[in-house]
Structure 1
């Protein structure tokens, strides 16, 4: 049933893309960049609806991407982005916590880790593309190969996640006339029944170098990633990752 719903969502998103007017770059372009993200992580996870609330430590995450844009209107552009997303912590449990059949008693000192590292494959069209306004719309396939783990002195339990999640992708960029500044926002989101993934970032970009050979842009922004799972492979979660980031982008 879940696979059928994901298929319906994917079909709907593809139909939206095909019915929209498209525009294309006049030249072939390559964008490559990376971001350093300071995350404040909060939330809960478990193997039943009574998930355990955890106290995570702040972490530094990394994200890398490369995008290819071309002048052929009928074919989408491609962006591949790898997102590191690992958080951990340790606390004394205030209540009994059963994780996939392993019971961690109240008063136990437990260490825990969430690894939701994933790669985004985004196919998108440029609906508007000029110096003042750029708007992209597309479809992202998130490849998640993650793991949730809880460990005490005597017990350890792990749960692996592996699969594809489709999300709707959009990006808006607004240039400030007579300045080297651009404001931008990016969104990847999907909601299926009581499960959802939301990945948003807002930022400002400063064009350090801009010529025919290469553009170099500095980025300062804020990113928020939320994942709510309702019995996906037996996993329940309500996790939020948010914080500021610094980035560098090259355009060839």
Structure 2
């Protein structure tokens, strides 16, 4: 009897571990984004749209998923945008931009098989500043609501997949659009973990009307490469 009880206990522990493994999934990715773009502050000299230098930044995201239907999954994305314009005055860039950008997203998996579809909402934060050649600094510290969607597809038995992702906000004289498209190849694909390499293109635009008496327009765009893991 004791042997049978011990066997049942061991089986129960094993099944519990498998159940927990199936209940919660953790997704993460990290990539290097090589971007350029433009900056403009209509009420601050030099009163023109200026091209930004080619720069690069590490961007990452983490997502937690589970099978409980009424509770949304959660995702965080982050990137720091630190760049300046190509043109300068007396050695000072016409504009210098240093901006932290993060998304906090709650979403539902509508489809999760050969075709993936996620829809959700959340908040996006902008924190940093823009400084012109005369040293005039405009600080940005704002949070805006966003809608979120992603759609993707897998090519069975190849390890190849593709997806497109979008967040959008149009609230309180602010319009923000963040869109990307990427392809991925999983070189590890088993029951414990999937790991893949990916390449894509991202576009992020910020349009703030009458923000601290300035109309601020920023756009960042360019390709990225990175790694993705699914536990």
The two structures have a TM-score, normalised by structure 2, of: 0.83
Counterpart of 1:156 in 2: which secondary structure? coil
| Ranges in structure 2 where 5+ consecutive residues have no aligned partner | 1-21
> Is it true that 1:176 corresponds to 2:155 in the alignment?
yes
> Is it true that 1:88 corresponds to 2:84 in the alignment?
yes
Counterpart of 2:49 in 1: which secondary structure? strand
> Is it true that 1:213 corresponds to 2:213 in the alignment?
no
For the pair shown, the structure with the greater C-alpha radius of gyration is 2
| Ranges in structure 1 where 5+ consecutive residues have no aligned partner | 1-25, 94-107
Distance in 2 (alpha carbons) for counterparts of 1:147 and 1:91: 18
Match of 1:228 in 2: 207
| Residue number among 125, 128, 134 corresponding to 1:146 in the alignment | 128
Distance in 1 (alpha carbons) for counterparts of 2:193 and 2:49: 47
Match of 2:51 in 1: 55
Aligned counterparts, 1:23-38, within 5 A: 27-38=23-34
The two structures have a TM-score, normalised by structure 1, of: 0.77
Q: Deviations over 1:21-63 (max 9, x none)?
A: xxxxx63100111110000212412446994322321000111
Measured after TM superposition, the shift of residue 235 of structure 1 is: 3.0
Q: Deviations over 1:158-195 (max 9, x none)?
A: 11111211111001011113321111000001224763
Q: 1:41, 1:87 within 8 Å by CA — same for their partners in 2?
A: no
Distance in 2 (alpha carbons) for counterparts of 1:64 and 1:27: 24
| Residue number among 117, 134, 158 corresponding to 1:135 in the alignment | 117
Distance in 1 (alpha carbons) for counterparts of 2:33 and 2:92: 26
Q: 2:59, 2:78 within 8 Å by CA — same for their partners in 1?
A: yes
Q: Does the C-alpha gap of structure 1 residues 89 and 222 become closer, same or farther in structure 2, counting only changes over 3 Å?
A: same
Distance in 2 (alpha carbons) for counterparts of 1:221 and 1:82: 16
Match of 1:74 in 2: 70
Measured after TM superposition, the shift of residue 198 of structure 1 is: 0.6
Distance in 2 (alpha carbons) for counterparts of 1:109 and 1:55: 16
Q: Does the C-alpha gap of structure 1 residues 115 and 92 become closer, same or farther in structure 2, counting only changes over 3 Å?
A: closer
Distance in 1 (alpha carbons) for counterparts of 2:164 and 2:39: 25
Measured after TM superposition, the shift of residue 125 of structure 1 is: 0.4
